[in-house]
Amino acid sequence: MKFDKDMSNAKETREKAREKTREKTREKLLEIIKEMPSATTQEIAGSLGLTAKGVEWNLKKLKSEGLIERVGADKGGHWKVCRKR
């Protein structure tokens, strides 16, 4: 039984660390958008050390939380930070 409890604690610890990392990534992403609203997914990915898909996933989360919005077209628009966390 101790093994099961240790595994459960390790899983909880990993999940907490992942969430903290995601939170920091989103904060950095918001800062990049504030500084460079017209930044492309590739530029953001390079700044954060993520893949383009990772950036898209984080942008989608921030949009669903109402923290950012896209103004204008996909290729000619820019990002706007709507509110602080």
Q: Which has the closest alpha carbon to 67: 57, 55, 59?
A: 59
Q: Say how far residue 85 (Cα) sits from the centre of its chain.
A: 13
Residue 22 near residue 48 (C-beta atoms within 8 A): no
The pLDDT value recorded for residue 50 is: 95
C-alpha–C-alpha distance, residues 33 and 55, integer Å: 12
Considering the four listed CATH numbers 2.60.40.420, 3.40.50.300, 1.10.3720.10, 1.10.10.10, the one that applies to the domain covering 2-81 is 1.10.10.10
DSSP structure class, residue 13: H
Within 1-85, where are the H helices? 2-35, 41-48, 52-64
Going residue by residue through the chain, which has 85 residues, state the pLDDT in tens, using 9 for 90 and above. Answer: 665 666 678 888 988 898 899 899 999 999 999 999 999 999 999 999 999 999 999 999 999 999 999 999 988 899 999 976 5
